[in-house]
Amino acid sequence: KSPTTKNGKFKPWILIGMLTSGVLVVLLFHNFDMHPTSYIILFAIVYFLFSVFFTVNDLSYWSLMPAITKDPKQREGIGAIARICANVGMFSVVLLYTVVPDIFASFGITNKRDAYFIFAIIVVLLMWGFQLFTLFGVKEDRRSLGKGEHTTIKEMFSVLIKNDQLMVA
């Protein structure tokens, strides 16, 4: 069960996920100058942790939606804007990624590894900046959340075993 703080139920998790996944992204692009085997092990650990903390951020971010408003039309509008902004950000990074070395070469940074590391830092700072809009600009309506159902682990496994599609997966 997630505790409700003065900042809401979801924002602390968004903050934890955003900060940690951002640091981990920078570490993914850092040149540790290690033995290849050691680097692969370190990379796997950092990537796994990134996946966990990005999921913490992402789930909390999208779970905030019902706490903003109960009006389905407003929620659809807010969700559409959020998805559009997320997709514009993602596609911008995808398009820029291929020309990062050329962009940074014009600033005198000719080492591709350094260029991608600096690019990762810029992307993380932008992500943090935009997520601050959510942390400080969005208000939760805690009254709209109400009491949720609590599912025990035993009930969860019971549902899993009875669902043939989940069992196949």
User: Using one digit for the tens of pLDDT, what is the confidence trace for 21-71?
Assistant: 999 999 999 989 999 999 999 999 999 999 999 999 999 988 888 888 888
**Whole-prediction pTM value?**
0.75
Write the DSSP assignment of 49-106 as a string of letters: HHHHHHHHHHHHHHHTHHHH-S-HHHHHHHHHHHHHHHHHHHHHHHHHHTTHHHHHHT
What digits encode the pLDDT tens for the residues 133-152?
889 988 877 665 555 667 78
Asked if 120 contacts 31 with a C-beta cutoff of 8 angstroms, the reply is no
Phi (first) and psi of residue 106, to 5 degrees: -70, -15
pLDDT for residue 148:
60
